Structure 1
Amino acid sequence: MEGASTKGGVLSLLSLLEVQARSRRHVPPQRSRVKELRAEAEALRVRREQLKTEIQTHQSLQGLRTSLDKQSTHEEEEEEMDEDSENSQLLKLMARHTQVKDLLLAHHLIGGYDIVKTRHGKGVCVSVATAYEGVCLETYNLEMDLKPTLRICRHNVPPFIPLSGLAEQSDMQTDIRAFLDTLSQHLNAFAGRKQQLKLVKEQHKTIEVMESNALCSILVLMFTVPKTKAAILCTLDYSDHTACLPARVQFECDVKEILESSEWRKNCGLLMETPLHKALMTMKKMGNII
């Protein structure tokens, strides 16, 4: 009986200790809570000081950037600063860095086109470069007024490129990048067709260029068939002015049997799918033209 009583007393003591432990977990110690609040207050004070420092630095950078902008437009002289001060040199570098970042952002937003401020910031000049098969060709420039509305005031875009129509079609006022992309497509396609014609004249002396227009959208060539010496008139129609390949190819020859052959049907497809100077080289290797 004594053993049972002792056992019961131990179990009661263990139960009491377990209840006390649970109570401690549910009621947080006051001292620990005070420490937490003090740590939070200290973190807020540190953050406040950081924000003050960032604001002061930002204000200094803004002043320096204003000074740099005035210097670039020759409106006012740059503010005097102590050249020997390490802080001033650092701030200058930071200001120049943020200025370059803004320029890169603007360059990205307008699709990678080169843009330069003109007339003390009242206008911009945008350059659109053209290239074909990795060869850089002409660069075209547009000077635009920024106020009261975006307007093209000067440019060197060829007159046969419908500049005004493209500006209206792309809604230049709200989406300048779409307008520049469309204009770039037209200019690069024109440059590509023009370059192909140049290469034809340089590489294929036996082929006579009978006709071509300023836009290089219509091209008429004269071929000579090796065996019969028959002349074939080839008309290439580039009705899609944003493409470097023709939408239609037409042959004319007095010897109709030649045009009805499978070779010349293949030649038609070749001219529609391959750059002109390369297609003519293939036709020469196949023995279809001189």
Structure 2
Amino acid sequence: MEAAKGVLVLNHLSALEAQARSRRVRPRQRSRVEELRARVKALTAQRDRLKAEISVHKDIEKRKMRLKNRCAEEEEMETEDGENEQLLQLMAKQMQLKELLYAHHIIGGYDINKTRRGKGVCVTLSTAYEGAYLDTYNLELDTKPTLRISRHNVPPFIPLGDICERADLRDDLRGFLDTLSTHLNAFVGRRQQLKLVKELHPSVTVMESNMLCSILVLMLSTTRQKKTLLCTLNYTDHSRCLPTEVRFECKDKKLLESTEWKNSYKLLMEMPLHRALGTMKNMVFIC
């Protein structure tokens, strides 16, 4: 009897243990099922979102084509009203502007527009110095029958013909524009330096200058010796804002051999003119 009772107790314990195991497994199974259902729901939402994006992209492409041809746009435009239509139009214009900006970057940042005659393009070159935008110059290029400059407002003292020959306008338009832009920016840079000298250093007298600002003659007054001397700056490299030669003239030859004027020579060769004069004034070389 006791043996039979022991067997019954063991069977009962085994049944309880199996029941406990099944209870532990069921929650895990339920959690796995819920996880899979959530995954399916997320993938379904992603699929629907991608379908919507593809549909919007197709609409935008259609409107981009219509924006390129106003007449075709008026004939083919579907009668859609409301905020969605306006939003799609704006998105189409935004994508078109992005494409124009990319093309603008490819051609070197120059503004290029078709001419009214339809036979060429007009290129705009902007100049700047020390963060300030200055003059703007324009070139009208005929593309038929061959590429050539038909009109421009580049100053006559800029060697436009020589730049065309060196850069080869027909085969390397980007190189030609880069070289011309370098010359124009150097010119307006030298001119701006001269303007700043007159504004910031009234004690310095500009004795001579030319239209290209490639030659400058200044009269300087020393602080300690109370003497005057002439400073001539030559800019033989017209593609740079810094001089290629600096020369001092003074009756006192010993003064020109002094350390301070040797240092002044280096300043004028390595710094913009208005800054170099400011440094010389701070060092009490000139008044």
TM norm structure 2: 0.72
Superimposed CA distance per residue, residues 141-181 of structure 1 (whole angstroms, 9 cap, x where no aligned partner): 11212222222212111111111221221112122111111
Unaligned runs of 5+ in 2: 1-53
Aligned mates of 1:275, 1:64 — CA distance in 2: 48
User: Structure 1 103/193 Cα, relative in aligned 2: closer, same or farther at 3 Å?
Assistant: same
**Alignment correspondent of 1:211:** 208
CA distance in 1, matches of 2:281, 2:86: 67
State the match for 1:152 in structure 2: 149
Query: 2:140 is matched by which residue type in structure 1?
Result: E
Q: Calculate the aligned-residue CA RMSD, in Å.
A: 2.8
1:178 maps to which of 165, 171, 175: 175
Q: Which residues in structure 2 correspond to 1:90-169 (within 5 Å)?
A: 96=93, 99-119=96-116, 121-169=118-166
Deviation at 1:136, TM superposition (A): 1.2
How many angstroms does 1:68 deviate by? 3.2
- Residue 94 (structure 2) pairs with residue 79 (structure 1): no
CA distance in structure 1 between the aligned counterparts of 2:174 and 2:75, rounded to whole angstroms:
36
Q: TM-score, normalised by structure 1?
A: 0.71
The verdict on how the C-alpha distance between 1:79 and 1:167 changes in structure 2, with shifts beyond 3 A counting, is farther
Instruction: Give the match for residue 254 of structure 2.
Output: 257
1:245 is aligned to: 242
In 2, Cα distance between equivalents of 1:62 and 1:197: 55
The 2-side partners of 1:77 and 1:96 are apart by 14
Tell whether the 8 Å contact from 1:110 to 1:177 is kept in structure 2 after alignment. Answer: yes
Distance verdict in 2 for CA 1:286–1:98, change over 3 Å: closer
Contact 2:223/2:284, CA 8 A, preserved across alignment: yes
Deviation >6 Å, runs of 4+:
85-91
Aligned equivalent of 2:281:
284
- Structure 1: distance between partners of 2:202 and 2:91: 60
Same amino acid, percent of matched pairs: 59
Query: Which sections of structure 1, spanning at least 5 residues, go unmatched?
Result: 1-52
| Larger mean Cα displacement after TM superposition, 120-129 or 157-166 | 120-129
Q: Do 2:209 and 2:216's aligned partners in 1 also have CA atoms closer than 8 Å?
A: yes
Query: Residues 60-110 of structure 1, C-alpha deviation per residue, up to 9 Å, x if partnerless?
Result: 958963x53343xxx888434223179987886676455434422321221
Q: Do the aligned residues in 1 keep the contact of 2:67 with 2:73 (CA within 8 Å)?
A: no
Please show how residues 29-48 of structure 1 align to structure 2 within 5 Å: none
Q: Secondary structure at the match of 2:79?
A: coil
Offset of residue 218 of structure 1: 0.5
SS at match of 2:134: strand
Residues 234 and 250, structure 1, Cα contact 8 Å, conserved in 2: yes
